[in-house]
Structure 1
Amino acid sequence: MNVLFDHLPEFRDGFLGTLRLTGLSAALALVLGILIVAFRVSPVPPLRAFGTAWVTLLRNTPLTLLFLIAFFVVPQVFFPGTSPETLATLALGCYTSAFVCEAVRSGINTVPLGQAEAARSLGMTFSQTLRLIVLPQATRTVLPPLSSIFIALTKNSAIAGAFSNTELFNVSKDLSDRGLAIGWIFLWVALCYLVITFAISGLFRLLEHRLEVAR
């Protein structure tokens, strides 16, 4: 118990770091995932090919390798001086976007084809049909898998601790290296992760409930 109270600032910084990294990465993954799914269902063949390549490549690439590329290639070739948090967000967001894309695409496939055909018969463009007709109906189906994806993202953020980011894994490693009781350290870190994952799960359950009421 003393491990927590004696090192509360470190646990607090690690918790806030994980929370911030998860939030930023989730926002990036959601934006990229919706953009890529629009490419995947687009009537334009080059866009479909790009979307397919994006999903296939990122889903089959180890996340650690993406971190290595983000930290040792991106700053050297593209954006020198980029902060570790930005690079970690980029790696996590791009990786998770592939899973978000497939979850949203599965939801789109549950919307009857006649809905899109009716929209096109009214003169709506592809982007209008997707934004106003298809995605709103697919949202109910998409929420449960998205909840699981973002919970997995929270746990994946632990890799960022090995790349100069202040988050829970980094804090636990630092405290254990000082010779503190590793059992208590892991207990408090696990509880911090549970708080975040339960909050994500609760938020998505609330959204599902709201959509059910709206229906």
Structure 2
Amino acid sequence: MNLDFSKIVEYIPFMLKGTLFTLQFTFFSVLVGFVLGLILTLFKISKILPLRWFAIAYTSVFRGTPLLLQLTLIYFATPQLLGIEISALAAGVITFGMNSAAYLSETMRGGILAVDKGQDEAASSLGIPYATRMRYIILPQALRNILPSIVNEVIALLKDSTLVSVIGVMDLLWRSKTVANKIFIYFEPLLFAGLIYYLLVMALTSLAKLLERRLRRSD
């Protein structure tokens, strides 16, 4: 099959630098997505109609259009529309965070609605403010129930982060393709990148299972 993995050995450190970037990119995208998703969730369950309409429209747009289209639109159109130069990294974090927020808001909304309404009513009858009830009673239970879905979203973000290589971000895939173009072999460096992504996903899955077990023991 004419495979020779020894040819990529000297380039492994170069490719591994992309792994650190991929993790950082995923972390910040998840952070933006979680915060924005929580805000959208509160809008969706709000009694203020304009907020609900905005959240529903936002979710519809970001779930109904391709992520790659959103990424290229934000990266290339922002300077034209706002006159502001935006780095590829910033464009990626903003796009992935906003896209993730649309999905997480639906997940969190379902988790909140699944919490027994009697608990909220009992707390309300005791005079506990809505914000306090949401922070200490409803959200902790909702997040515990939707933890597997949140982990799935993080894993999806990690894998979809390969899209940022399209706009020149030096992530793991970009570096692997750079090595492939330099030494004129493709299977070995791309397979190495695939192995790293797989190990990262397995590590996230293991951490999620450990966290789930701890949460169950705390019940």
- TM (norm. structure 1) is 0.93
The worse-fitting range, judged by mean Cα deviation, of 141-150 and 194-203 is 194-203
Match of 1:25 among 19, 23, 29: 29
Q: Which residue of 2 aligns with 1:203?
A: 207
Q: Which residue of 2 aligns with 1:51?
A: 55
Query: Structure 2 regions of 5+ residues with no counterpart?
Result: none
Amino acid at match of 1:117: E
CA deviations 1:168-195 (Å, max 9, x no partner) are 2211222222243211112110111012
Match of 1:136 among 127, 137, 140: 140
Q: Which residue of 2 aligns with 1:110?
A: 114
Amino acid at match of 2:32: L
Moved >4 Å (runs of 4+): none
After superposition, residues 1-215 of structure 1 pair within 5 angstroms as 1-78=5-82, 80-215=84-219
Equivalent position SS for 2:146? helix
Query: Structure 1 regions of 5+ residues with no counterpart?
Result: none
Q: How many residues align?
A: 215
Cα pair distance change 1:122/1:44, threshold 3 Å: farther
Within 1, Cα distance between the matches of 2:124 and 2:99? 33
Pairwise CA RMSD: 1.6
CA deviations 1:48-87 (Å, max 9, x no partner) are 1111111111111100111112101223333623221111
Cα pair distance change 1:94/1:72, threshold 3 Å: same
Contact residue 30 and residue 100 of structure 1 kept, 8 A: yes
Within 1, Cα distance between the matches of 2:82 and 2:129? 36
Amino acid at match of 1:45: L
- TM (norm. structure 2) is 0.92
Question: How much identity, in percent, do the aligned residues show?
Answer: 32
Amino acid at match of 1:94: M
Cα pair distance change 1:3/1:28, threshold 3 Å: farther
Structure with bigger gyration radius: 2
Contact residue 78 and residue 84 of structure 2 kept, 8 A: yes
